[in-house]
Structure 1
Amino acid sequence: MKGLDIPSLEVFVAAVEEKSLSRAADRENLVTSAVSKRIAELEKKLERTLLLRHGRGVEPTPAGTLLYQRAKNILRSVQLAEMAVSKYSIDGMAKIRLAANPSTLLQFLPGKMAAFFKGRTNVSIDLVEAHSFDIPRMVAEGSVDIGIYHAKYPAAGVTSFPFVNDRVGLVVPLGHPLADRQELYLEDALDYDLLGYFPLHSLDKFLAYVGPSLSRPPTVKLQVSNFETRCSMIREGLGIGIVPERIASHYLGSMGLTLLRLKDDWAVRNFFVCVLSEADSSSIVMELLCNLSEDVAHNV
């Protein structure tokens, strides 16, 4: 009974589940004759009849049913092994896939990454920029190992820990009618065109996020995702815009802008770092998680 191979087991499992050699061929991107040959070779190696052929298709013999059950376990083990190895880079180093929203990438991660890599040479990190709304789903689906997002409350389906807080403010050009105001509610600025993006990346989501704090939607004629470009557009008089305070501070002097403090409660943003679960995370992922959140570090 030597010579069992993964491709033959995959074809056999497909034939059992599809109850048809032709449908198994479609599923495995093979021609029907190739599927029939693979299964015949498998039966020859094992010296057992595995499938009964009839006019309606195929069905496993008792020996075939046993092989099907064992083959499913084998294929699952192979899949898990491939998934485990995929978490390492080509040179065999540990690899962490980290998704974060633009605010996090600009404001917080450079320092955090420098601290994490100090003294470490056995790990690499793939940084993925994504919207906060999508990041918990990416972690839950396994496309990334760790995610950093902002929201009012921790997302369902993942394990989240506090990361940081920040504030967004209102950026206007010097000389604007609002420029002399040190702080205000966004409601006070609704007579002026507002540049997007918003804290949740669309006007509808933004309005749902801020709730009853606005009496009417703002007038939005231009959507601008990049923070520097948004500030450039504000300088040119195309509107005023919501920008994280720390990011805005880099452009105020050079672009002739001023930052007004928003008094709205939603102007303070809560950021969370999340994994699928602590139990399912590798040791190096947990090390990074501890580096990102003091709440994790205190419990380890």
Structure 2
Amino acid sequence: MRLDLADLRLFLCIVDAGSITQGAQRANLTLASASERLRSIEDAVGVKLLERRPRGVVTTEAGDALVHHARLILHQQELLKDELNAFVSGRRGTIRLYANTAALTEYLPEKLAPWLARHPRLNIDLRERTSADIVKAVEAGLAEAGLISDAVETGTLQVRPLEPAPLVLIIPAGHPLAASKSLALRDVYREPFVGLAAESALQEHIDGHARRAGFDVSFRVRMKGFRGLCEMVSHGVGLGIVPERVANRHQREGTYRKVPLSEAWAQRRLCVCFQDWDGLSSPVRALLEYLLGGGE
């Protein structure tokens, strides 16, 4: 038995109108064409579906069964169309977004919360990576967009700034270097440090710059998050390097001092990168418009 959606629509038009002539008009078909299609439908199912009467047609028992299932099938088809349209229009889907540590922990939570609340059918798959790895992933098409530091080379990617995100040293208040105006990493690498976990993208970024300068940072302890790191520095355990926004948020009176890092790699801005604006999917473009201040 082969019945397509057009067959089902025509059959329902005829049944609802109670007439082959009026049903053909509702289906935008000629009477001859509708009659031929109706014969083909009955031949396909192998049973009579309609009884012809002087004032129109009525369904047989088999016709009633076809009406029931035809309405279910066409309703399901409308639901499918609506659901697929939601993906096309950007009202539904899963966005894969790569972000560096600072963006993931400090910038995105307060930004994404209200946006996701307004878009209940959208999900976001957040992946933490170093800025350099994010650039490679976006170039390779593994993600449509990423949040990075502008301290990395971005090749042919388009880059738009979001906000300043410099890294600063945090130094226990009683430390001899706490009153410094600015310091380079080479000035303090012999000092004991509190770091982030080795798998942290930001710590990998900092360690990489230290190695390129010819030394390794010595860690007394590594913490899973910024709060623990700042707490350790507050108690004099060692020095730390964190985004300035983090230092401001966790600083308590007299616990540690912020000292700017003088190297160019620490004078960062948080940016969004992507290959081509017009090539972004609707959900990703909607999110980036919001982050860039031009959308809801």
- TM-score normalized by the length of structure 1: 0.55
* 2:70 corresponds to: none
* 1:226 corresponds to: 225
Greater mean deviation of Cα atoms: 273-282 or 180-189: 180-189
1:32-43 pair list within 5 angstroms: none
- The structure number with the bigger radius of gyration is 2
Question: Deviations 1:71-108 (Å, cap 9, x if unpaired)?
Answer: xxxxxxxxxxxxxx8x96xxx93221112122112222
* 1:173 corresponds to: 172
Q: Which amino acid aligns with 2:208?
A: K
2:208 to 205, 220, 224: 205
Q: Which amino acid aligns with 1:262?
A: L
Asked if structure 2 preserves the Cα contact closer than 8 Å seen for 1:100 and 1:132, the reply is yes
- C-alpha spacing 1:95/1:191, structure 2 compared with 1 (3 Å): closer
* 1:141 corresponds to: 140
Tell me how far apart the structure 1 counterparts of residues 121 and 140 of structure 2 sit (CA, whole Å).
26
Asked if structure 2 preserves the Cα contact closer than 8 Å seen for 1:252 and 1:259, the reply is no
Asked if structure 1 preserves the Cα contact closer than 8 Å seen for 2:96 and 2:143, the reply is yes
Asked if structure 1 preserves the Cα contact closer than 8 Å seen for 2:195 and 2:241, the reply is yes
Q: CA deviation at 1:114?
A: 3.9
Q: CA deviation at 1:268?
A: 1.5
1:1-300 pair list within 5 angstroms: 93-117=92-116, 119-156=118-155, 158-197=157-196, 199=202, 201=204, 205-207=208-210, 218-220=217-219, 222-224=221-223, 226-253=225-252, 256-293=255-292, 297=294
- TM-score normalized by the length of structure 2: 0.56
Tell me how far apart the structure 1 counterparts of residues 244 and 118 of structure 2 sit (CA, whole Å).
32
Tell me how far apart the structure 1 counterparts of residues 206 and 94 of structure 2 sit (CA, whole Å).
36
- C-alpha spacing 1:195/1:277, structure 2 compared with 1 (3 Å): same
Asked if structure 2 preserves the Cα contact closer than 8 Å seen for 1:199 and 1:206, the reply is no
Q: CA deviation at 1:240?
A: 0.7
> Gaps (5+ residues) in structure 1?
1-84
Q: CA deviation at 1:221?
A: 5.4
> Gaps (5+ residues) in structure 2?
1-83
Superposition CA RMSD, Å: 3.5
